[in-house]
Each structure stands twice: as C-alpha cells, then as structure tokens.
Structure 1
C-alpha cells in the first residue's frame, strides 16, 4: 500500500494544512488508520465506518477494513476515508493541485474534476503513484457535506486493474455521502486499541478510523499551536520492524515531523512490555512557523507485525505535559479479537 494519508499539518494544528505526516499517519510512518460497519460490498446504500460520518458504496469485491476507515481488496487495492472538520475545506481547497501533489510522488493526469456529492460538493484528481516497486492507479477526492470535510483516497495496484476496474472506482466515488457523526466516545470505542489513561487530556476526534487526537485546551482547531497535542496512531497493516532496528526506525519517524525545525533528540529509553518492545524518545526544537521553543515526546510500541505510535508536542516550558503524554502511551493496549491486551 502506498502512503494514503492526508496532508502534513494534520498533527500541527488539528486541521490539515500542509503536505502528509508520513511517519505518524502512515505508521503514523510513512502514517499517519477501526473496522467499518458490516455490510456486503455490493450494497446499494453507502457503507460507513463505525461512528463515522463519511462513507460510500464500495466497488464489488472490496470489503470493510479492520485496520483503517475504508475498504480493502485481496489484491492490495484500498479506499481510505479521512474525516475532517467543516473548516478544513477552506484550508485545503485549492491546495490539492498537480504541482503540489507531485512532491508526494502522485503523478496527476490532467487537472481536477468536479465530483457530485449529495448535499455538498467535491473534486477528484486521478493519476499514478509508485511505491515498493509497484505502480498504483490513484484517485484523491476532496469532498464536503453537512457533517464536515472528507478526503477519499483510492489506490489500485496496476496488476489488479481487472479485479478493481477503473469504471467501478469511478462509480464508487459518485456515491460518496455524509451522515451525522457518532459521538467522540463512540469513535474511541471503535479504535483498534484502548487508552487506559487519558492523563487529563481531552479527546478531540479520531482520524482515519484508527488515530486519536487529544489536547489539553478548549480549542478543537488550533492554528497557532498554542495547546499541547497528543496523537495516537497504529501502523497500517503489517509493518514489522526487525529486532535491533527499533531505535533507527523511531528516530527516522520523528525526523519527519514538519511542525518542528532544528529537532534534536535529547533522551532515548528502551524497555519491554510483555513480548513488545517500547522505544521512547524525547526531543527539543522550535515551532516551524513561530520559532517558539517546543518539546516533543514519541513512544512507539512495537508488537508483532505492527506498532502503535504516540506523539506529544507542547511548549518547551510544559515538561508536565510531556510526562502526561507518556502516561497515555504507557496505557495503550491493542485489541485482539475484540479484547485488549
């Protein structure tokens, strides 16, 4: 699977503003993705993730994913649904251009095209992207409706063109729909992990069906970055990191944090939790926009074929906030067959 994630800056100001936080929301990694509601792939009505407000009628053969908000096909094709607040439309509309997306490796063919959305509007870009030695046909649709703004990313391996044909993808995109979102509590209950200790942080929303955004202030949207922010997100699918490679992986992931410049790792701690390896980094730097000193903590729980990453970002004068973010990380338990462990 190529990087399906929304633009970078999701982490920075609670609303996407810049191009993709790879390590966080593609692993949160290359990543920064709650099983979808059951239902046959050929259903006439749109299918929505649990507690989600954005859905569509998936192409034949694609079924709800158990790893992220969206749909999968055995061929490796995927549809990923990302929900954002209504105000995100103004932030990203006009930023999704062929030139801007070229920097992510997405080669857009032609320009954007209007996409009909019931009770709203949208546009779609089509093209190709290479990853892991494969070429994918790719569609990126930005939509909005009464419940908010959405990003729909479709990726089909070149080898799966007959199994998930272009016409089926185009038909699915024309069924994008919004509904009233579930409560934040319902969204959290649908995550593929549990958080035993919120450490005083307030849950704002879930992202991509499997990432959780927390803050400690009253703002749900914080363009100035004045509030402490914590994001919890698991890897997409299988993302095993070799024994002894955890530190290098964690440092590379932290290095993708575009919101912080001159980032320096100041502390590293390795421990175990059962069969899992836990790698915690602390760092310092400056806010990329304001120059204000900031502090960062990142904990990655490496477990089996995947991992869960917890990232905290706060003002440098808030060491207590870093400690609280690490309490959140220490309380994470992944679900197995409906249970947490």
Structure 2
C-alpha cells in the first residue's frame, strides 16, 4: 500500500460558485428565521412578545397584525390588581369577568398567566379569540389574539399558544422611545433622569428619580402635555391660564403671584406662577405653568420644585421648555 498525500478531487469553478451561492442563501434564510423569532415591543408598550412569521407591530397603536389575513394581537396594560382579582376569583371558584371565563392556567416568559377562549367583540363563526391575562407583580397585561377564518390555517392553535407563551413585560420603556410618541420634540432633558408616560402620545412627566411621591414632596418635576383647547382671542388666554392653573394636583393654599402673556418658541404663550404648599409634606413650593398656543391644541408645561431650590430648578425648567419644538 502506498501512503502519500490524500488526493483532493477538483471542483469545477462553476460548481464551486454554485455551491458557495447555495451556502450563502442557506445562511441568509437562517438569519431571517432568527430575526423572525426576536422579541418585539411595540413602540411605547411595556408588553412584548415573539410574533409569528408574517405578524408585525402596528405602526400607530399597541399591538401586532398580519395585514394579509387580518390576524390581530391587541395589548392592554392594566393595574396588577386586575390579575390578582381574577387569580383570587378562580381559586375561590367565584365569577370572573367575561373575558376570562373558563380560563386555564398558562405559563409565559413574564410569569404565570391565565388563558381564555371566552371570545371578544369580534368573535363569531368566522373569528376566534384566544387571550391571556398575565402579571409581573407591578402591572398586568391583557393580550388578545383575534384569528379570522382566513388566518386559521396559517396559524394553528399550537402556534398561537407558542406566541402567547413568549409574552414578556419590561420594567421600563426607554426615555427616547416614550418621547418619540409625542407630537413635539423634547431635545433637552436638562438632567432629568426619568421619563414616565401618563397618556401615550399626549402627556409625560420628567422626574429626578423613579419615585413619583418625591415630586409631591418638592423634588423638581415637569409635566408636559397637549391640552385640546384653543385660545384664538388674546383676551381668552388669561382666563384659560388661570383655570388650568387651578387644576394642578398635589397643592394646597395655592396663590397665583403672576399671570401674563409671553412669547414661547416664537409663538403666543402665557406664563403663570404660583406659590403653594405641597399636600404630601406641607413644604413650600413654587410652580410655573407655561401655555404655548397654536391651532386647535395648546402645549402645556407645569413645573414645580421646593421653594428653597427654585432658582436652580427654574433654570432647568426653561432649558427643557426652550428645547421643545413641533415635529
């Protein structure tokens, strides 16, 4: 027997190129499959899941859809007590909300849940609803999948359960993501570390920490929102400014010290200042409200801090105000 170098059969260049192309295509398809199995959170939502192939996040809303066959996934954030109430009722064999009738225990990436097929507003002979109620202890999430007849073959029950089992609840939404939902840009946070959405796409609060109670005790905060009011006539603006100032929460013994028109961002505006006492700790606080009028809506900014730290806080407040512009 002759021992020598192992012969390597030659491959024609055309066959080699074809083989490499097929290998590249296989890798590309594999990468695509991996991307299809990534966890997705709709913009502004704390609830996310791994959508099935062809299911994408809704552009303007909290949920997912397959535009080809009209399958929809609706997401709703609820207080944790909503899950606790259903959990207790099921354990004690008491009545539960219609949406959770005949629910079964179900496990998700976020934790324990209940799955129900009780149906919903779109249920019927040609539509089936499968929904879960889940909680991470801080909030609850209701995730409902509406499966029309046209989508049933593409998404069998096991696939729907697999998607629901991937449901996750994130602890917080990045500040930039929350701000991206607003109809205006906030380019300067002036040192505020926490952004919390109060009404998606309409109102946020800026805080120095995660402790919202601290704001009621005098820690600086800013509430930025869109008020669906207009003030086309200058003589209406003082009345509107004072009325809105009287609705600011967390204050007692409030006294308006000034209320006057001013230009904000080159447009008509109004500044109202208030001296008050915080309800939480009876601490003297100073508050400023800015209104920036335009079209059928008004940008409203309410900022407050303990009176002892007002000069420094007011500088920060103005920096945020002056960095707000329409998209």
Distance 1:254 1:121 in 2: 43
User: Does structure 1 residue 213 correspond to structure 2 residue 200?
Assistant: no
1:255/1:147 Cα in 2 relative to 1: closer, same or farther (>3 Å)? same
Q: Is the 8 A contact 1:69 1:208 kept in 2?
A: no
- Tell me the alpha carbon deviations over residues 95-154 of structure 1, each in whole angstroms, 9 at most, x when there is no partner: xxxxxxxxxxxxxxxx994865975679xxxxxxxxxxxxxxxxxxxx8623842699xx
Following superposition, the deviation at residue 287 of structure 1 comes to 0.9
Following superposition, the deviation at residue 280 of structure 1 comes to 1.2
- Tell me the alpha carbon deviations over residues 171-222 of structure 1, each in whole angstroms, 9 at most, x when there is no partner: xxxx9x7643542222223322111222222233333223222123xx3024
User: Does structure 1 residue 329 correspond to structure 2 residue 321?
Assistant: yes
Following superposition, the deviation at residue 239 of structure 1 comes to 3.0
Distance 2:139 2:230 in 1: 33
Following superposition, the deviation at residue 315 of structure 1 comes to 0.6
Paired residues in the alignment total 210
Distance 1:239 1:178 in 2: 38
Q: Is the 8 A contact 1:184 1:206 kept in 2?
A: no
Which protein shows a greater Rg? 2
1:251/1:185 Cα in 2 relative to 1: closer, same or farther (>3 Å)? same
Q: Which residue of 1 aligns with 2:303?
A: 312
User: Does structure 1 residue 190 correspond to structure 2 residue 181?
Assistant: yes
Q: Which residue of 2 aligns with 1:32?
A: none
1:307/1:179 Cα in 2 relative to 1: closer, same or farther (>3 Å)? same
Q: Is the 8 A contact 2:250 2:279 kept in 1?
A: yes
Following superposition, the deviation at residue 297 of structure 1 comes to 0.9
Distance 1:272 1:312 in 2: 18
Q: Which structure 2 residues correspond to residues 53-92 of structure 1 after superposition, within 5 A?
A: 53-54=46-47, 89=80
1:250/1:293 Cα in 2 relative to 1: closer, same or farther (>3 Å)? same
Higher helix share: 2
Q: Is the 8 A contact 2:220 2:304 kept in 1?
A: yes
Unaligned runs of 5+ in 1: 1-46, 57-63, 71-79, 95-110, 123-142, 153-174, 336-341
Q: Is the 8 A contact 1:49 1:69 kept in 2?
A: yes
Q: Is the 8 A contact 2:273 2:289 kept in 1?
A: yes
Unaligned runs of 5+ in 2: 1-39, 50-57, 64-73, 86-94, 101-105, 115-132, 143-163
Question: Structure 1 length as normaliser, TM-score?
Answer: 0.49
User: Does structure 1 residue 232 correspond to structure 2 residue 224?
Assistant: yes
1:199/1:49 Cα in 2 relative to 1: closer, same or farther (>3 Å)? same
- Tell me the alpha carbon deviations over residues 13-54 of structure 1, each in whole angstroms, 9 at most, x when there is no partner: xxxxxxxxxxxxxxxxxxxxxxxxxxxxxxxxxx96513224
Q: CA RMSD in A?
A: 4.3
Q: Which residue of 2 aligns with 1:290?
A: 281
- Of 44, 47, 69, the match for 1:51: 44
Q: Which residue of 2 aligns with 1:241?
A: 231
Distance 2:309 2:113 in 1: 42
Q: Is the 8 A contact 2:259 2:271 kept in 1?
A: yes
Higher relative contact order (CA 8 A, sep 6+): 1
Q: Is the 8 A contact 2:178 2:195 kept in 1?
A: no
Question: Structure 2 length as normaliser, TM-score?
Answer: 0.51
**Structure 2 residue matching 1:52: 3-state secondary structure:** coil
Distance 2:197 2:245 in 1: 21
